[in-house]
């Protein structure tokens, strides 16, 4: 089994290519994934609030990190869904399971935001 022909770049060129691919991925997610767009707007509102709150550096990092984690998990979930849909649009219990597991991961990341924010804010203001 040979290596992928797309793995040939090294050094700075590989980093530049990775950046371009990442931007394409973000553009694609924003264009095609409603949930990702909603979560980006959620992040646009909450990240500045987290940065303005008087909760200290670690609290801000936890709050911002929890929001960024939602975006990361949503991107992975969308990638899983796209790969499954590429294979087949037929209903299959394993495809459903994979999509449900990805959805559950997004849900848990959203619960994580609520828990992190509640704990940081409770520590600061109670």
Residue carrying structure tokens 């931007």:
23
Residue 98 has pLDDT above 70, yes or no: yes
Class of residue 6 by CB neighbours under 10 A (exposed 0-12, middle 13-18, buried 19+) = exposed
Residue 62 has pLDDT above 80, yes or no: yes
Q: How is residue 3 annotated by DSSP?
A: P
Interhelix angle 34-52/56-87, nearest 10 degrees: 170
Point out the residues that are catalytic: 74
25 token code pair? 């991925």
- pTM, entire model: 0.90
> What are the backbone angles phi and psi of residue 43, rounded to the nearest 5°?
-65, -40
Residue 32 has pLDDT above 80, yes or no: yes
5 token code pair? 């022909």
């Amino acid at each position: 089994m040979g290596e992928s022909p797309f793995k040939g770049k090294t050094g700075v060129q590989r980093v530049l290519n990775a950046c371009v691919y990442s931007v394409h991925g973000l553009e694609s997610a924003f264009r095609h994934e409603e949930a990702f767009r909603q979560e980006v707007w959620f992040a646009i509102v909450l990240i500045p609030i987290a940065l303005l709150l008087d909760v200290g550096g670690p609290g801000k990092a936890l709050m911002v990190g929890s929001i960024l984690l939602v975006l990361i998990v949503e991107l992975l979930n969308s990638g899983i869904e796209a790969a499954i849909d590429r294979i087949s649009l037929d209903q299959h219990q394993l495809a459903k399971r994979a999509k449900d597991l990805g959805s559950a991961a997004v849900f848990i990341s959203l619960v994580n935001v609520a828990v992190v924010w509640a704990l940081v804010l409770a520590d600061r203001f109670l």
